[in-house]
């Protein structure tokens, strides 16, 4: 059965889903982890835990972006996601390596930290989506990792502009960088274009994927704040 097209144009996809996620995005900005990060008071153990988990996540995310590149039917889309996969795996990993060394966390220390339930859940969700969902839904699912980070980074830059010696300046500068903002804009443009050409069912699936991934973004920061562990870990030998 052919998918039913939308009867009326409606708002652009990104404007629609960002509005629907407004309370959730606000909660991400207001989360104690990001509040302390912006204030420069976030303790090193929490940030190091976050860096370890984020490194694990980025390994999976880069594979999801590479899959999106392979599945893209537009060569420009394919090039964008291929480059983004490289950035996630190489450029952002360098950020993690630098901070972990600064906090005295060796590669061996990092390897000994179990992957948190939230990190595994988010990574697994994106990987499953990349392999089983239509390409437009994959694009919608990866968009929050671009957009939410840029939104948070930009907000923190505004709050910390007068603090050049901020302990997390490099992290803030990475995600508020104009080049990163340009990549976010391109990801949004791809999502809007795909949604405009999709039927109602695909557009609804795209929205659901975007919102679910945004929920996982909140959960990821919350898990870092609590240094989340597996509640059943002591039951295993």
Distance spanning both ends of the chain, measured CA to CA: 51
> Per residue in 111-137, pLDDT tens?
999 999 999 999 999 999 999 999 999
Written out in words, the top-level CATH class of the domain with range 13-227 is mainly alpha
Packed helices 44-71 and 75-86: angle between N→C axes, nearest 10 degrees: 150
Q: Which of 148, 159, 162, 157 is nearest to 176 (CA)?
A: 157
Mean pLDDT of 161-170: 90
Domain-wise residue ranges, the chain:
13-227
What pTM value is reported for the model?
0.92
Per-residue confidence at 8, pLDDT binned at 50, 70, 90?
Answer: very low
Per-residue confidence at 234, pLDDT binned at 50, 70, 90?
Answer: confident
Burial 159-187 (b: 16+ CB within 10 A, else e): ebeeeeebebeebbbbbbeeebbebbebb
Contact indicator for 200, 5 with CB cutoff of 8 Å:
yes
Q: Which of 203, 186, 118 is nearest to 146 (CA)?
A: 186
> Per residue in 13-59, pLDDT tens?
999 999 999 999 999 999 999 999 999 999 999 999 999 999 999 99
40 Cβ contact partners less than 8 Å away, ≥ 6 residues apart: 160, 163, 166, 167, 168
């Amino acid at each position: 059965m052919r998918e039913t097209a939308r009867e009326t144009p409606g708002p652009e996809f990104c404007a629609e889903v960002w509005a629907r996620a407004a309370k959730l995005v606000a909660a991400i900005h207001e989360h104690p982890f990001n509040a302390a990060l912006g204030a420069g008071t976030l303790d090193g153990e929490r940030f190091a835990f976050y860096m370890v988990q984020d490194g694990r996540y980025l390994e999976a995310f880069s594979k999801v972006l590479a899959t999106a590149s392979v599945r893209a039917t537009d060569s420009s889309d394919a090039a964008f996601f291929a480059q983004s996969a490289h950035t996630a795996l190489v450029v952002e990993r360098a950020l993690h390596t630098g901070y972990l060394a600064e906090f005295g966390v060796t590669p061996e220390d990092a390897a000994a930290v179990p992957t948190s339930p939230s990190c595994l859940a988010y990574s697994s969700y994106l990987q499953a989506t990349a392999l089983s969902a239509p390409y437009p839904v994959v694009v919608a699912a990866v968009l929050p990792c671009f957009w939410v980070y840029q939104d948070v980074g930009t907000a923190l830059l505004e709050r910390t502009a007068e603090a050049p010696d901020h302990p997390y300046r490099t992290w803030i500068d990475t995600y508020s960088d104009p080049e990163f903002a340009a990549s976010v804009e391109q990801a949004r443009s791809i999502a809007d274009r795909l949604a405009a050409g999709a039927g109602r069912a695909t557009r609804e699936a795209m929205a659901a994927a975007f919102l679910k991934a945004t929920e996982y973004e909140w959960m990821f920061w919350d898990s870092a704040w609590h240094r989340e562990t597996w509640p059943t870990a002591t039951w295993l030998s």
